[in-house]
Structure 1
Amino acid sequence: MVAPLASRHVFSLSISVGQPIEAGDFGYGARRIIPILAGELSGPGAGGGINGRIRNGGADYQVIRPNGLTELEAKYAVELDDGAVIYIENIGIRFGPADALEKIRRGEAVDPALIYFRSMPRFETGHPAWRWLMEALFVGVGTRRPDRVELDVHQIL
C-alpha cells in the first residue's frame, strides 16, 4: 500500500509588488513582469518557527494566455531572522472567470474564492539549518491583492 498524501502548513508569505511591466502579446500570450519589492515570511516551519523578510530585486515573470490562464514564474530571495538567505523559485498558475481575471490585471480587488491560484515553490540555501527545504516538495496556495500576493506554503509529507 502506498502512504497517504498529507501536508502541513510551513509558512505564509506576504509579497509587496510593484506596477506591472507590460511587454505585450508575443503570439500565444502576453508577457508581464511584476517587480517584487519587499515582504514578510512567517510560520511554524518544521516545528521551530521561521521568520524573515523578502529582499528587493525579485520579479514574477508572467504569461497571460488568450483564455486568461496566467502562468507564473516568480524568483526572489528571503533573508531569515537568523541571517540565512533562501532563494525561492515559484512556478504556478492562476485562473478564474474572465471578469475576475480582468480585475486582477487592472490591479483591483477580487474575491479569492473565485480564483484558482496554486504554485510549486522550490528553495535553495547553503545554510545547514534550512537545507530541509531543499529535500521536500511544497505547494503554495495564493491570493492576489491589489498591492501584494499572499501565499500559504505547505510541505507535502
Structure 2
Amino acid sequence: MSVPELKTKYVFSLAIQVGKPVVAGDLGYGTRRVIPVLGGTVTGEGVNGAIHQGGADFQIIRPDGFTELEAKYTFELDGGAVIYIANYGIRFGPKEALDRIARGEIVDPRLIYFRSVPKFETAHPDYRWLMQNLFIGVGARHPDRVELAVHQVL
C-alpha cells in the first residue's frame, strides 16, 4: 500500500492591512505583541472579497527573533459568505532582517521564512470545502500589511 504524493494548489491571497503593534512587554521567554487588523482584500480565482476591521495577530517574539503568530479575524466574499480564519504560523530569518521588520522597515520577503496553517470556518454551503481541507500560507510582512498566499494541501 502506498501513500499519496503531497501536492498543493494555490487558492487565494490575503492582503491584510495592519495597525501599530501594541506591546505588552517581555514575558521572560519572549515579547508579547498584538497587531490590530484594519481591513484588507481577498483575491483569487472566483474568490474575492474584503477583510473586516477587527481581529488581531497575537505574537510572541523570542529573544533570537523567532516569532510565533496567531492571527484571528474575518473576511466577507463578494457573494456574501463570511469566513472566520484562525491562522497559526512562524516567522524567522537573519537577525538584521528581523530587526528591520521590528522597526517597521521594508525587508525582502525572500530573506524571511514565514509560513502558516490557516483554519477556516463558515456556515455558507458554497465554502464549506474550506473547513474540509488543510491549507498552508506563505507570507510576507510589510510595514503596513501582511500578504499571505493560501495553498490547499491536496
TM-score w.r.t. structure 2 length? 0.98
Structure-to-structure mapping, 1:3-152, within 5 angstroms: 3-44=4-45, 49-152=46-149
Partners of 2:5 and 2:148 in 1: CA distance: 24
In structure 2, C-alpha distance between the alignment counterparts of 1:131 and 1:138, rounded to whole Å:
14
Paired letter, 1:60? D
Q: Which runs of 5+ in 1 are unaligned?
A: none
Any runs of at least 4 consecutive aligned residues in structure 1 with deviations exceeding 4 A, and if so which? none
| Unmatched runs of 5 consecutive residues or more in structure 2 | none
Q: Name the SS for the 1:133 alignment partner.
A: helix
Percent of residue pairs bearing the same amino acid type: 65
Q: Deviations over 1:11-67 (max 9, x none)?
A: 0010000000000101100000000000000112xxxx1011000011000000111
- 1:139 CA displacement: 0.1
Please give the alpha-carbon distance, in whole angstroms, between the structure 2 residues aligned to 1:108 and 1:146.
Answer: 6
The DSSP-based 3-state class of the residue aligned with 2:53 is coil
Provide the residue aligned with 2:3 in structure 1.
2
For 2:37 and 2:101, the matched residues in 1 are separated by 16
CA RMSD of aligned residues (A): 0.5
Q: How many residues align?
A: 153
How big is each residue's C-alpha offset from its partner over 1:105-141, in whole Å with a ceiling of 9 and x where there is no partner?
1110001111000000000000000000000000000
Q: Which amino acid aligns with 1:107?
A: G
SS of 1:50's equivalent?
Answer: coil
TM-score normalised by length of structure 1: 0.96
